[in-house]
Amino acid sequence: MAFTPPTAEDLALYLGLGEIDGPRADLLITQAIALAESVVKPLPDQATAVVLSVAGRAYVNPQQVTYETIGPQTVQRPAGSGGLYLTKADKAALKSLAGRGGAFTVDPTPADADPSPTWPIDDLYTGEPYEPGWGWP
């Protein structure tokens, strides 16, 4: 099954908003998909959560405001909590969803490798020790 991009309505539901600016939400979703595809392409089916997270961050706080005071109300947000970007966790989640996040082993042995020794065998060996003291009888 192919990745199905979320809609503006999905973003509104994700953010808990009754109304949403459709064209702006569509633009942010498109840009979030482009960012996600810079990490994993094609996107896995479950990448919708990451795309909504990225687009939601940018929709709610496009200027990356960290401290804001309006009248008696003061709001402080964590640094980097707005704008359109992928966090390290977003990238790790995309790789994991695509099956590319874990450890792996590479076996460099060719499939047709022969387990017999490859060094030259001395046909003239008579059982005499090569050097004294190396454990030869």
Tens-digit pLDDT profile for the chain (137 aa)? 688 899 999 999 998 988 998 899 999 999 999 999 999 989 998 899 999 999 998 888 766 666 667 888 877 666 655 568 888 999 999 998 888 766 778 889 888 888 776 666 666 655 555 666 666 55
* Whole-model pTM over 0.85: no
The pair of three-digit structure tokens given for residue 40, joined into one six-digit string:
């994993």
Question: Which secondary-structure segment (H or E) carries 56?
Answer: helix 48-60
- Is the C-alpha dihedral spanning 31, 32, 33, 38 positive or negative? positive
Distance, CA of 128 to CA of 136 (rounded, Å): 8
What is the Cα–Cα distance from 117 to 18, expressed in whole angstroms? 74
Whole-angstrom distance, CA of residue 46 vs CA of residue 30: 16
